[in-house]
Amino acid sequence: MAPRGRGESGRAGRTPPRRAISPSLRVALLEWRARVRKPGAWQQRKLVKPNGKTRHLLVPVPALKKVLRELNRDLLAPLDRHPASFCRRGRGVLLAVRGHQAHPALLHRDIADFFPSVRPWQVNDALKRCGFDVHDAALITAVVTTDQQLPQGSPASVTVGNLVLRSLDIRLSALAKQSGLTYTRYVDDIVVSGGEGRLVTDEPLIDQIIEDCGWRCGSEKGKLYPPSHYREVLGVSVGGAAKPGHKSRQKIEDAERKLHDGTLTLADCASLLHWRDSVTALGEELDKESASSLTKEPVSPISPVVESSPAAGP
């Protein structure tokens, strides 16, 4: 379903500084603008997820991937700065989870078919809002998009997607601040947490903002989780001690079992075990912070009681 909203186009605000493409990168982009239109620049891949569903990827050939990595690192990533936006260097899963850990209720939404739904005109508009002129925005758009979509599998697509979703971040962040809630977005996963009553009241507004910005919510993850319900954010349980969620624990236990019997090597599951250790460390850190906050509460002074013994006498 193609997004319908205009996003941030026409929104009043200060003019961003002019962005410029370096001469060497411009040469590479100009070369690939002609080449990406021909077959062979992008390769189709299928990724079967643990739930059995298939994710279709469009992966750039190595030479194009190198250019996209340079474009992302040197030019696009520094523009991705909205505080609610995660999945970027220095702002990963654990930092996103941390903001929701102490809240009693949680609302989860995901944008359906996000990457295939992003159209080149939206990318172009987002780049112009970031300060690129008409020609440079069109040049970058031509290289980072293909087949009228933002390819899932490109090293630049998450950053570009974050720039496209900035208007959504601005509106949902404003609503969350007004209502005393916490809002985060990790690519297409939207999480708002806080008091259950406030979330129930704001749920229709949240859905309306998402729709107004031109996106459609998926039905699989769109739920409101009350305090009595098990809550999980990005594979980490929240509402108690931070630890890997149900599905993540199953993956970890399976990897540990295969590691023990020699089916997998340490290198095969190193990233998963590192993530497990990072979640455990986050839980310990939050426990320490909670204990520290309790010790800082004011305590009424109590005068010591001196018991006199019979032998002491006056």
d(CA 148, CA 3): 12
Ranges 119-123, 195-199, 299-303: which has the least confidence: 299-303
pLDDT over 90 (residue 207): yes
Question: Mean per-residue pLDDT for 102-113?
Answer: 92
pLDDT over 90 (residue 37): no
- Confidence grade of residue 203 (pLDDT, cut at 50, 70, 90): very high
Give me the chain's average pLDDT, please.
Answer: 82
Question: Mean per-residue pLDDT for 70-81?
Answer: 92
Residue 182 confidence (pLDDT): 95
3-state secondary structure of 21: coil
Q: In the Cβ-directed half-sphere of 193, how many Cα atoms lie within 13 Å? A: 22
- Confidence grade of residue 82 (pLDDT, cut at 50, 70, 90): very high
Instruction: Give percent above pLDDT 70 in the chain.
Output: 78
Residue 241: CB partners within 8 Å, gap ≥ 6? 283, 286, 287
Ranges 81-95, 106-120, 182-196, 270-284: which has the least confidence: 270-284
pLDDT over 80 (residue 221): no
CA distances from 18 to 9, 173, 256 (A): 17, 26, 51
d(CA 294, CA 297): 6
